[in-house]
Structure 1
Amino acid sequence: MYIPPAFREDDPAILRELMRGTGLANLVTATADGPIATPLPLVLAADEGEQGVLYGHLAKANMQWKTPVIGEALALFMGPDAYVTPSWYAAKAEHGKVVPTWNYVAVHAYGPIEFFEDETRLLAVVKRVTELHEGPRTTPWQVSDAPEAYIKSQLRGIVGLRLPITRLEGKRKMSQNRSAADRIGVAEGLADSDKATDRLVAGLIPTMD
């Protein structure tokens, strides 16, 4: 990922928070037949390894886990994003030398990937994913709410994955390369949007120097 210095995010705590805040990641592996990508919910175990370990599962019918991987796997986490019109820049009225862009947050996690079918490990991963997303609910659904035989049958249709992170790249592109007046204009423009994601991005833009 190309990361200009102004947009680089290296703080491990912030990177972990960004990964946890992404509901769906993309798992990419390089193979002799070309790259393969699968959208997956991934769970970060930050206390494992030097930079954490990602866990998840995919359908057993998905050929990605059966296809030999070349090098490391890549997990792509995309955070909030929004289109930025040059009409919001103060610089537009001054000299007109402005163009559209896109603000976004992204984290790339690299590491060797392991796929597994062991039922005990699979069940642990399914519980991790479930607890992460059900936890905030008033009445969380638990894996144990379903009949044990049914859960066992479901486990036979999936494969687990473990990805120890060896390298992290973080990018937070939030108009940091623009003047304070331009950043304020972008933040105000996005805050007035009907889109919830635009309003979320508005709150991430630094408006003070």
Structure 2
Amino acid sequence: MYTPSYFAIKELPELQQQILGTRLALLVTHGEQGLQASHLPLLLNTEEGPNGTLYGHFAKANPQWKELQNGAEALMIFAGADAYVSPGFYPSKAEHGKHVPTWNYVAVHAYGSAEVFTDADRLLTLVSALTDRHETGRAQPWKVADAPADYIDGMLRAIVGFALPIQRLEGKRKLSQNRNPTDIAGVREGLAASPDAHDQALAHLMLKE
């Protein structure tokens, strides 16, 4: 990922926080079948390995897991808030007009090779943890144990799990840091005034810079 130094996220806890805050990741591999990509919910164990270890699963019918089994390196993309930045947001536009549109965003890329597994007990632990994460906060959280055991057994036979120690992490937080303070404030205020929730989320991030 092209990342000028002033946009780089360098601290491991911040990189991991973006991963933890992304509900659906994009996992990309390149192997005998060419490029393949799957959108997957993942779990991160921050204490396992120097950068953490990611856990997830594929449908067994999805051939991409075979690329992982064959040793293909995976790229996992964790996209955060993003927003279009109009030249009209910059006060300096009135002075010289030398601005073009751009896009502000946050993203983390994780790289590594995975261990693939089909052990039923291990898969049950994984899907239970994923379920608990995303059911938390609901008035009546659903649990895997709510479904008949024989039904869950059949579902587990239809998936393939993986554990992927993160070997390399890249992070980018592009929030107009390369602009002067007046223009940064103009972008932040312009996005905060937008009715779009994505724009407002990005403006909120800029307040923390």
- Shared fold, TM over 0.5: yes
**What are the Cα deviations for residues 82-105 of structure 1, in whole angstroms up to 9, with x where unaligned?**
111111001211100001000110
TM-score (norm 1): 0.95
Q: Structure 2: 5+ residue runs without aligned partners?
A: none
Q: What per-residue deviation string (whole Å, max 9, x for no partner) do you get for residues 132-173 of structure 1?
A: 111232332111111111111111111111110111101000
Q: Give the corresponding residue for 2:28.
A: 28
The answer to whether the aligner puts 1:197 opposite 2:198 as a matched pair is yes
Aligned 8 A contact 1:32 1:70 in 2: no
Would the aligned equivalents of 2:71 and 2:113 in 1 still touch at CA under 8 Å?
no
The alignment partner of 2:75 has SS state of: strand
Is residue 25–residue 76 contact of structure 1 (8 Å, CA) maintained in 2? yes
Partner of 1:137: 138
Query: Which residue in 1 is equivalent to 2:112?
Result: 111
Contact 2:71 2:114 in 1 (8 A): no
For 2:112, give the aligned amino acid: G
The number of aligned residues is 208
Q: TM-score, normalised by structure 2?
A: 0.95
SS at match of 2:139: coil
> Which residue of 1 is the match for residue 11 of structure 2?
11
- Note the residue ranges of structure 1 that are not aligned, 5 or more in a row: none
- Contact conserved, 1:180 with 1:207, CA < 8 A, in 2? no
Per the TM alignment, residue 23 of structure 1 is displaced from its structure 2 partner at its CA by 0.7
Q: Determine helix, strand or coil for the equivalent of 2:80.
A: strand
Q: CA deviation at 1:181?
A: 0.9
In 2, distance between residues paired with 1:168 and 1:207? 22
Q: Which residue of 2 aligns with 1:181?
A: 182
Residue-by-residue CA offset, 1:102-146 (whole Å, 9 max, x unaligned): 011000111111221111111111012111111232332111111
Describe how 1:154-169 pairs up with structure 2 within 5 A: 154-169=155-170
Structure 1 residue runs of 4 or more that deviate by more than 6 Å after TM superposition: none
SS of corresponding position for 2:145: helix
For residues 21 and 179 of structure 2, the distance between their equivalents in structure 1, rounded to whole angstroms, comes to 26
